[in-house]
């Protein structure tokens, strides 16, 4: 028999034999206490055998556990994860990074970072959520010292949800504006006649698309900077409200509703990308755009920024360390093949990023050909690509209204899927910490409604005249060094505190009939988790701090003041400091010397595996999920005496 940490127990000792007899006779021992983290302390004597004339004491019935939801099928989980990972970053960030960092050469560091950091961390997060069947906070019963990692993930998800739905609000605005001919940002519109002249734009003039974005949508021309947000732009506020209502309705029934929505939201963007690639291939100048996108510059491989950009794109697109992956995996069946899912999702995500570049640069190449300028002058990243450069390029195509509607529908679907995952990370974490909400449909609906409404109220700051300045600040720091630190501690905690061998055994237990290739692949992942991945995460973290110190933050020509940049650093620090704050709390709750407190705080709680009891049925997992913090009457089982015997042996 093994104890809950996977260590062999001395079951053949006299104490072990007495324990087995005592457990079979349903003995009760008064006066034993459980430490605040739920562990049984070591005992110094064997319980006395119970005589036949003594009636067993009544055992209090355990509290009812609300059954955890599960995905309707494997396809729902796969599509949800693909939709979560394949987001706006695949369309507006990867193609720009590719051409800026040496074209096709960028694929070399990108795939190296994917194999060494992206795939191992992706598998770790999925496996942790699936095995523990719990959200980002509760899952750290496997190592209570690191509960702050889950709190930090919750903070990052909150910041991401706060600004990400603003992008969907912009998409709504553009989608509504696309139902008019000519498009309001095209040269054919009457309002833009003076700007375009004879249908062309001067080299030193702003394009109608840029004017529409800055004046009609953002209103940024009426703000002086971060300190001057100005009034709320109510058309955008209504679009933001509509976006949150859609999120609320799609998540109202939990994964039963969102799991059905992804059949549309996760597949539609692929259809649009295919159509855009085919359309772009027929345009004049498209080959120049593709050539600009992929032309290799081998000298860029020696630049550290290229490797940092590759790693940051992996984190940005896969959604690692935010808690969404962990939460979605927690609704899987225990025996789901998590290694297979990891390979499918990561390869699908990275392939999407690569092929999205063809859809983007083929049409941008046509726009550069029409304007008789180099492709580099029309290429952009972030909102500048999605809401300025690409809409302008679409406006030049025949049937521009149709292509515009199709493009912004694609952006809407991409944004909704990613926001589903982030919101799932928040709701799952809260519902696991307060299980009574999960069992009450009304209370759960009220909680979700209140959460969406609070996000809407906070998001109003980002739809003011100066909202784009706040948007850029949160976007720049919410998933920066704080996210890397959280991921680094997750990797170290699982590898060295929980135990990388035990974690690999957990994965094998989930897969059940693990084929031979599975064991070999796990050896590779084990090497990554222990050596390669932490080293590369430290490299990324060092580069981020150097770049953050030397590079000023700016949006367009506006340079952020020092207090604004300090505010952004505080956002990232707040997320990662949760690790240290809750580690101190976990250690302070234990007893003994500092070394003893630390050793106890990294030991899994007795309720760590209770969520998978029905799936596994192993004896060592039949433990009560409640956490007891005072002396009480304990019903001893085989597992309890095994743990006690093991501790006695270790003390001897």
Q: Which two tokens stand for residue 643?
A: 């743990």
**Is the pLDDT confidence value at 62 over 50?**
no
Using alpha carbons, list the distances in angstroms from residue 266 to 4, 73, 427: 39, 15, 21
Dihedral class, residue 473 (left if φ above 0, else alpha if ψ from -120 to 50, else beta): alpha
Strands (E), 198-329: none
Q: Are 157 and 426 in contact (CB under 8 A)?
A: yes
Cα maximum dimension of the chain: 105
Which band of pLDDT confidence, cut at 50, 70 and 90, is reported for residue 57? very low
pLDDT in tens, 551-573: 888 888 899 999 999 999 999 99
Whether 476 has a binding-site annotation, put simply, is no
HEC string of 506-532 equals HHHHHHCCCCHHHHHHHHHHHHHHHHH
Which band of pLDDT confidence, cut at 50, 70 and 90, is reported for residue 177? very high
Q: Are 367 and 395 in contact (CB under 8 A)?
A: no
Q: Is 8 helix (H, G, I), strand (E, B) or coil?
A: strand
DSSP calls for 307-333: HHHHHHHHHHHHTTTSSHHHHHHTTS-
Q: Are 396 and 366 in contact (CB under 8 A)?
A: yes
Whether 198 has a binding-site annotation, put simply, is no
Q: Are 508 and 514 in contact (CB under 8 A)?
A: yes
**Is the pLDDT confidence value at 75 over 90?**
no
Whether 349 has a binding-site annotation, put simply, is yes
647, HSE (Cβ side, Cα atoms, 13 Å): 19
Per-residue pLDDT at 207: 84
554 membership: H or E segment, kind and range: strand 554-555
Whether 83 has a binding-site annotation, put simply, is yes
Per the listing, tokens 């060494």 go with 116
What's the CA gap between 55 and 478, in Å, rounded? 60
Backbone angles phi, psi at 8, to 5 degrees: -70, 135
As a whole number, mean pLDDT of residues 141-153 equals 94
HEC string of 364-385 equals HHHHHHHHCCCHHHCCCCCHHH
Question: Please, which residues have CB within 8 angstroms of residue 487's CB and are 6 or more apart in sequence?
Answer: 121, 315, 320, 321, 537
As a whole number, mean pLDDT of residues 145-169 equals 93
Which of 52-61, 511-520, 554-563 shows the highest mean pLDDT? 554-563
The mean-pLDDT minimum among 12-26, 261-275, 483-497 falls in 12-26
Q: Which residue has the higher pLDDT, 371 or 619?
A: 371
Share of the chain above pLDDT 70, in %: 81
Which band of pLDDT confidence, cut at 50, 70 and 90, is reported for residue 639? low
Q: Are 322 and 483 in contact (CB under 8 A)?
A: yes
Share of the chain above pLDDT 90, in %: 41
Count the residues in the chain: 652
Question: Please, which residues have CB within 8 angstroms of residue 205's CB and are 6 or more apart in sequence?
Answer: 195
**Is the pLDDT confidence value at 37 over 50?**
no
Which band of pLDDT confidence, cut at 50, 70 and 90, is reported for residue 198? low
Domain ranges of the chain: 1-32+631-652, 74-551+577-583
Which band of pLDDT confidence, cut at 50, 70 and 90, is reported for residue 303? confident
Per-residue pLDDT at 372: 87
As a whole number, mean pLDDT of residues 309-314 equals 87
**Is the pLDDT confidence value at 456 over 90?**
yes
Per-residue pLDDT at 495: 94
The mean-pLDDT minimum among 221-235, 423-437, 448-462, 612-626 falls in 612-626
As a whole number, mean pLDDT of residues 36-45 equals 41
As a whole number, mean pLDDT of residues 428-442 equals 84
Using alpha carbons, list the distances in angstroms from residue 279 to 276, 397, 400, 403: 5, 10, 12, 10
> Which overall architecture, per CATH, does domain 74-551+577-583 show?
Up-down Bundle (1.20)
Q: Which residue has the higher pLDDT, 550 or 532?
A: 532
Q: Are 437 and 447 in contact (CB under 8 A)?
A: yes
Helices (H) and strands (E) in the chain, counts: 30, 4
As a whole number, mean pLDDT of residues 161-189 equals 92
Which band of pLDDT confidence, cut at 50, 70 and 90, is reported for residue 41? very low
Per-residue pLDDT at 566: 93
Backbone angles phi, psi at 635, to 5 degrees: -90, 115
Per-residue pLDDT at 637: 53
Whether 317 has a binding-site annotation, put simply, is yes
Per-residue pLDDT at 453: 96
Q: Are 68 and 309 in contact (CB under 8 A)?
A: no
Q: Are 534 and 121 in contact (CB under 8 A)?
A: no
What's the whole-model pTM score? 0.81
pLDDT in tens, 209-250: 999 999 999 999 999 999 999 999 999 999 999 999 999 988
């Amino acid at each position: 028999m093994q104890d809950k940490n996977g260590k062999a127990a001395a079951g053949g000792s006299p104490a072990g034999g007495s324990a087995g007899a005592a457990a079979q006779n349903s003995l009760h021992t008064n006066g034993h206490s459980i430490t605040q983290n739920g562990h049984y302390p070591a005992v110094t004597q064997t319980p006395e055998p119970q005589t036949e004339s003594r009636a067993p004491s009544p055992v209090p019935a355990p509290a009812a556990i609300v059954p955890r939801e599960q995905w309707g099928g494997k396809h729902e989980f796969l599509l949800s994860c693909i939709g979560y990972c394949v987001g706006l970053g695949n369309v507006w960030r990867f193609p720009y990074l590719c051409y800026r960092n040496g074209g096709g050469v960028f694929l070399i560091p990108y795939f190296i970072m994917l194999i060494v950091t992206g795939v191992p961390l992706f598998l770790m997060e999925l496996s942790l959520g699936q095995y523990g069947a719990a959200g980002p906070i509760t899952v750290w019963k496997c190592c209570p010292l690191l509960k702050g990692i889950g709190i930090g993930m919750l903070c990052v998800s909150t910041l991401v949800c706060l600004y990400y739905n603003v992008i969907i609000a912009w998409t709504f605005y553009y989608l509504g504006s696309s139902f008019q001919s000519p498009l309001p940002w095209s040269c054919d519109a009457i309002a833009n006649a003076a700007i375009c002249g004879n249908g062309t734009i001067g080299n030193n003039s702003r394009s109608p698309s840029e004017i529409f974005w800055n004046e009609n949508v953002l209103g940024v021309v009426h703000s002086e900077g971060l300190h001057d947000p100005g009034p709320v732009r109510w058309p955008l506020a209504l679009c933001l409200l509509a976006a949150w209502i859609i999120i609320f309705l799609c998540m109202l029934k939990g994964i039963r509703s969102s799991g059905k929505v992804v059949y549309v939201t996760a597949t539609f963007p692929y259809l649009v990308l295919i159509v855009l690639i085919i359309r772009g291939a027929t345009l004049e100048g498209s080959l120049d755009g593709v050539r600009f996108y992929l032309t290799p510059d081998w000298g860029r491989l020696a630049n550290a920024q290229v490797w940092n950009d590759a790693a940051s794109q992996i984190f940005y697109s896969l959604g690692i360390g935010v808690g969404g992956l962990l939460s979605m995996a927690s609704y899987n069946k225990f025996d789901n093949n998590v290694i297979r899912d990891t390979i499918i999702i990561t390869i699908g995500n990275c392939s999407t990023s690569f092929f999205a570049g063809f859809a983007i640069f083929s049409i941008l190449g046509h726009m550069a050909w029409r304007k008789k300028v180099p492709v580099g002058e029309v290429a952009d990243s972030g909102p500048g690509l999605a809401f300025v450069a690409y809409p302008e390029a679409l406006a030049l195509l025949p049937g521009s209204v149709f292509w515009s509607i199709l493009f912004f529908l694609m952006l809407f679907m991409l944004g909704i899927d990613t926001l589903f995952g982030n919101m799932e990370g928040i709701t799952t974490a809260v519902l696991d910490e307060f299980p009574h909400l999960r069992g009450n449909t009304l209370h759960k609906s009220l909680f979700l409604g209140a959460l969406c409404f609070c996000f809407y109220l906070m998001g109003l700051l980002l739809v003011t005249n100066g909202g784009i300045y706040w948007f850029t600040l949160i976007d720049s720091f919410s998933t920066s060094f704080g996210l890397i630190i959280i991921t680094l501690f997750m990797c170290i905690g699982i590898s060295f505190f929980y135990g990388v061998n035990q974690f690999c055994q957990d994965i094998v237990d989930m897969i059940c009939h693990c084929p031979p290739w599975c064991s070999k692949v796990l050896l590779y992942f084990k090497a990554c988790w222990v050596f390669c991945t932490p080293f590369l995460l430290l490299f990324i973290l060092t580069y981020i701090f150097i770049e953050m110190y030397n590079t000023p933050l700016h949006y367009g020509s506006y340079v952020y003041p020092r207090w604004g940049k300090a505010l952004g650093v505080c956002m990232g620090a707040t997320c990662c400091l949760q690790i240290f704050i809750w580690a101190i709390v976990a250690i302070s709750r234990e007893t003994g010397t500092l070394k003893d407190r630390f050793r106890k705080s990294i030991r899994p709680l007795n309720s760590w595996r209770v969520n998978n009891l029905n799936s596994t049925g192993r004896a060592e997992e039949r433990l009560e999920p409640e956490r007891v913090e005072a002396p009480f009457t304990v019903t001893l089982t085989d597992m309890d005496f095994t743990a006690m015997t093991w501790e006695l042996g270790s003390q001897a």
